[in-house]
Amino acid sequence: MLKHWRLNEYKVLLYRVFLAYLFYFFARVLFYVFNAGLLKVDSLGEFFRLCYYGLAFDTSAILYVNMLFIVLSVLPFKNNTSKAYQRFLFYLYFGMNLIAYATNFVDLIYYRFTYARTTMAVKGVIEHETNLTKLFMSFIVDFWYVFLLFFVFAALWIFAYKRIKVATYQPTTNLAYFGFSTVGFLFVAAMIVGGVRGGDFKKSTRPINLLDASRHVKQIAHADIVLNTPFAIIRTLTKNGFVKTDYPEVTPEVILQKVMPIKQYRSHAPTKPNVVIMILESNGREYYGSFNKKSNIKDFKSYTPFLDSLAQHSLIYTNAYTNGRQSIHGMSSVLAGIPSFKDAFTSSPFPKQKIESIVSTLEGEGYRSSFFHGAANGSMGFLGFSNILGIDNYYGRSEFNDDSEFDGFWGIWDEPFLQFMKQKLDQEKQPFLSTVFTVSSHEPYNIPEKYKHKFPKGDIPIHKCIAYTDYSLKRFFAEAKKSPWFNNTIFVMVADHGNSTFYKEYRRTYERFAIPIIIYKPNSEFVGVDDDWAQQIDIYPTILDMIGYQKPFRSWGRSLLDKKTQEPFVINNTGSLYQFAKGNYICIFDGQKSLGFYDKNDKALANNLIAKRNDEMDDLELRCKAFIQDYMERVIDQKLATH
């Protein structure tokens, strides 16, 4: 009779599920080891505390991945213990588990570029790329040790699985066999339902999601240790990050007062200078000497000698931050003043609408516009978004039409492509608006062979690429100075996002979003250093203020030249949490409530001041809510223009 209880099968099933937990733990340890500089944990006890809270997220992911395997293991097919059926379960188990498990190994490396567990948002990053095979092969070569680790742990997992097998038997009493099997199946099904919800069986509560990992941490970055990548991907498979909010305290009057979505500046006389915006791939603030004079970083090295020299004759913003985490977030933030939070605006269902931007406003003033990106046409979705914005001419790798200057991975080397841009601008009728998005400071961090010994190798691979792009800009400016349009041009240099960090000061949680903003106009009064909060979405209104644009326009950012109308602030998103900085504090907001307030200088977000909440903090949370509510309504209801 005991055989009909199928106890041996259940014991083996539990062992197989336990193996998944064990190897997820190993993956969490590896994730921390590879990213310890970004995820600094004070003690072994603290790490195990985070692992303990991670069990709920591991349970959810493991049960999602193994749901079919578990069901087929307990259903009474009478031949469950046969070698053929067990072989089928073996292939099902590892076919599902190893695919999911591999995503944990992706984040051993990818995390240092995005500072978040990989989610389905990555689809928006790769869907427009034509060189995925080549990039994948490059990653295999560059990070061979990660692939080796994956195969070693996969082999160990398979070895451990095969060590314990189900005993073969054939049921002789159908009533007892099916009776006990039915009870067992119902129990297992109930456990699965509770497990995938995070251990909660109540219908009144929602299943756990990415935000729930932040409930258990003292430092926000540690939520990524609690999480695992399969869970992050599964939980975002069908999620749309664009959902309207309805905060009771956020009225239309509050939005007008706190967000000021419609701007109008009349501080400068109307002029029509050319505008050239340079979005510099992966150029975190850490690489710039001119932005680190007050940082007190020991033995600091700059990799941007040209831009440092240009900064002496420019407006520079030393406390500037990105409004997104990836390249595809940068274009909409800089040109249209539209940040990206959990998901990229350009990859959402909503970019195909009338959008008021630097392109449309200057077009109304008689400007022609162009966009330059040396990658394959359409890469990152830039070509499609250029068309939505109404940019007149797009120049990519196809228009450059000389693959002898192709870097082999992403696009045309920055130096020749910027020279190509200069030649095209010489043919433009003034006034013009032109944007370039550089490519050379991108993984796998190569530079042209002829410059292998020209630039400092640096401490991390990206350093030589930053130096190469800086040299490419020097060459561009040297040639552009010879053109008649140069002296009547506003140049803006800004990064799309940060990247690999070397100095511990820039590994701090908030500093991962740190970027430079440089605004240069030859022989003008626009010179100086500003240490106030600044962000990418401020660039569009700043340019309109500088040129004396007189009409009202939609912008969530503010003119960096004007601190009377709207106080400096920064908003961005870690992938699951909003960060809103203004005045003396940084607010961490989960979409419903604030999780913490931190002093403006506590960029590590180490000392949570929420227990000492004051009026300024309350106002900060209200401003964050008002911004999110207005953002979601305007994006979803297609109101990204003043008319």
| 314 Cβ contact partners less than 8 Å away, ≥ 6 residues apart | 518, 519, 520, 526, 527
Check residue 139 and give its pLDDT.
78
| Locus of tokens 């949490």 | 577
CA distance linking residue 122 with residue 117, whole number of Å: 10
279: nearest Cα among 115, 582, 517: 517
> pLDDT band at residue 199, thresholds of 50, 70 and 90?
low
The C-alpha atoms of residue 132 and residue 295 are separated, in whole angstroms, by: 38
Domain positions in the chain are: 2-235, 252-296+310-429+438-484+499-516+537-636
Q: What is the mean pLDDT of residues 45-65?
A: 94
| Residue 44, φ and ψ in degrees, nearest 5 | -65, -35
Position 395 scores a pLDDT of 97
Q: How far apart are CA 93 and CA 62, in angstroms?
A: 11
Cα distance between residue 81 and residue 62, in whole Å: 23
Rounded Cα gap, residues 534 and 318, in angstroms? 8
Eight-class DSSP state of 169: -
pLDDT of residue 377: 86
Q: Is 596 within 8 Å of 610 (Cβ atoms)?
A: yes
Strands in 507-559 per DSSP E: 514-520, 528-530, 534-535, 553-554
Please say if the pLDDT value at position 205 is more than 60.
no
Distance CA 377, CA 383 (A): 7
- E strand or H helix that includes residue 189: helix 174-196
CA distance 396 to 127: 17
159-194 per-position pLDDT tens digit: 999 999 998 887 767 777 787 788 888 888 888 888
State the DSSP H helix or E strand holding residue 274, giving kind and residue range, or none if neither: strand 274-280
**Edge-to-edge order in the sheet of strand 569-573:** 569-573, 578-582, 585-589, 594-599
In this model, does residue 7 exceed pLDDT 90? no
Instruction: State residue 28's pLDDT score.
Output: 96
DSSP 411: B
Question: Average of pLDDT values for 454-483?
Answer: 96
Residue by residue, DSSP assigns 65-125 as HHHHHHHHHHS--S-TTSHHHHHHHHHHHHHHHHHHHHHHHHHHHHHHHHSS---TTHHHH
Contact 585, 620 (CB under 8 A): yes
Q: What pLDDT is stored for residue 71 in this prediction? A: 93
With cut-offs at 50, 70 and 90, classify the pLDDT of residue 560.
very high
Phi, psi (rounded to 5 degrees) for 597: -130, 140
Q: At what angle do helices 327-336 and 382-389 cross, to 10 degrees?
A: 10
| Token digits of residue 530 | 């500003």
- Segment 193-220 mean pLDDT: 71
Would you say residue 27 has pLDDT above 70? yes
pLDDT(359) > 80: yes
Query: At 575, is the pLDDT very low, low, confident or very high (cuts 50, 70, 90)?
Result: confident
Instruction: Give the pLDDT band (50/70/90) at residue 201.
Output: low
Q: Is 415 a residue whose pLDDT tops 80?
A: yes
Per-residue pLDDT band for 204 (boundaries 50, 70, 90) equals very low
Query: What pLDDT, on the 0 to 100 scale, is given for residue 129?
Result: 64
Residue pointed to by tokens 């701090």: 508
pLDDT greater than 80 at residue 85: yes
How far apart, in whole angstroms, are the C-alpha atoms of residue 185 and residue 10?
11
Q: Which two tokens stand for residue 160?
A: 């451990």
**CB under 8 Å to 527, separation ≥6 — which residues?**
313, 314, 315
pLDDT at 226 over 60: yes
Indicate the average pLDDT of the chain.
91
Task: Indicate the pLDDT class of residue 128, thresholds 50, 70 and 90.
Answer: low
d(CA 539, CA 122): 26
CA torsion angle for 56, 58, 61, 62 (degrees, to 10)?
-120
Res 559 pLDDT > 80 = yes
How many beta carbons lie within 10 A of that of residue 475, not counting itself?
Answer: 16
Is the Cβ–Cβ distance between 17 and 66 less than 8 Å?
yes
Question: What average pLDDT does the segment 334-357 reach?
Answer: 89
At residue 113 the predicted structure's pLDDT band, cuts being 50, 70 and 90, is: confident
Residues 282-319: tens digit of each pLDDT:
999 999 999 999 988 999 999 999 999 999 999 999 99
Residue 120 predicted with pLDDT over 90: no
- Which uninterrupted H or E stretch holds 234? helix 229-235
| Nearest-angstrom CA–CA distance, 481 and 522 | 10
As assigned by CATH, the class of the 252-296+310-429+438-484+499-516+537-636 domain is: alpha beta
First-last CA distance in the chain:
78
Select the more confidently predicted residue: 602 or 131: 602
DSSP strand pairing (315-321 vs 534-535) = parallel
The length of the chain in residues reads: 643
How large a percentage of the chain has pLDDT more than 70? 96
Pairing of strands 585-589, 594-599: antiparallel
247, pLDDT greater than 90: yes
Beta bridge partners of residue 528, listed in sequence order: 315
Strands (E), 273-380: 274-280, 315-321, 368-373
Query: Looking at residue 171, what is its pLDDT?
Result: 75
3-state secondary structure of 641: coil
Rounded Cα gap, residues 435 and 387, in angstroms? 14
Confidence of residue 4 (pLDDT cuts 50, 70, 90): low
